[in-house]
Every structure is written in structure tokens, then in C-alpha cells.
Amino acid sequence: MSDTTLENHGQLIASDRVEGTAVYNRQGEKLGKISNFMVDKVTGQVRYAVLSFGGFLGMGHDHYPLPWSMLNYDTQQGGYVVDLDRKLLDEAPRHMADERPDYSDGYGRNVYQYYGLIYPW
């Protein structure tokens, strides 16, 4: 069995395979890609996927944390699909690639509230 087969067996995927995966909206428009994701240190649950897009030649990308529960993997698209219009991202919580926001409860509540979700922690 190859390393690729082992890393993507069944419902599991290696973290390095998630990073770089395309994110599409329901209309099939590519919104960007997952630059990284945030994992709860205690529970091991993924809380956010950080969507990146914009910039030129990899410079100036904005990063948008999306609650992980918003994303669904679509095998036909070969990426994640989110029920989100690009226009909604105009005012969404975001940061630059070289910045690391404090993913505290306050920040998390802000992200969840923006997308109309209940902050579960």
C-alpha cells in the first residue's frame, strides 16, 4: 500500500492533505484554499479551517477563519464546499498571513456570530 493510500483511507485524511485543498461555494465558484486549520488542544477537534485567497504571487493573501462545521467535502469537486457567497467574505473576520489572531473565546464567538452560528464552547 502506498503512503497516499494510507493517508487517505476511509473517512480520515492527513493534515498536510487538507492544507491547500480548494474551497468552493454551492455555485461551484472557487473561493480559495485551506491554508491551515485550528485544532482544540484538549479535545482534538478541528474548530476552524482558515480560508485564504487574494493577493498576487502568494503575497497579500487574506485569511478567513471558517467554523469547520460549515465545510463539507465533495468528492466530485475534489474540495470542500461551503454555503457562502463571496460577497459575505467582504466583511468577514480575517487576518493577514503573517498575523496570528488570539483564537480565544471572544474571537471565536465573533467568527461564529458573523456566520450566524451558535458558538458551542
pLDDT in tens, 78-110: 999 999 988 898 899 998 888 888 887 788 899
Whether 4 maps to a domain, the answer reads no
Whether 77 maps to a domain, the answer reads yes
pLDDT tier, 4 (very low <50, low <70, confident <90, very high otherwise): very low
Pairing of strands 71-74, 30-39: unpaired
Whether 11 maps to a domain, the answer reads no
Q: What is the CATH number of the domain that holds 84?
A: 2.30.30.240
Domain that holds residue 58: 20-114
Q: Output the pLDDT for position 56.
A: 57
- Burial degree of 19 (CB within 10 A; 0-12, 13-18, 19+): middle
Whether 6 maps to a domain, the answer reads no
Total-model pTM: 0.83
CB 46 within 8 A of CB 68: yes
Which residues, including other chains, have CB under 8 Å from residue 74's CB and lie 6 or more apart? 24, 80, 81
Average pLDDT, the chain: 85
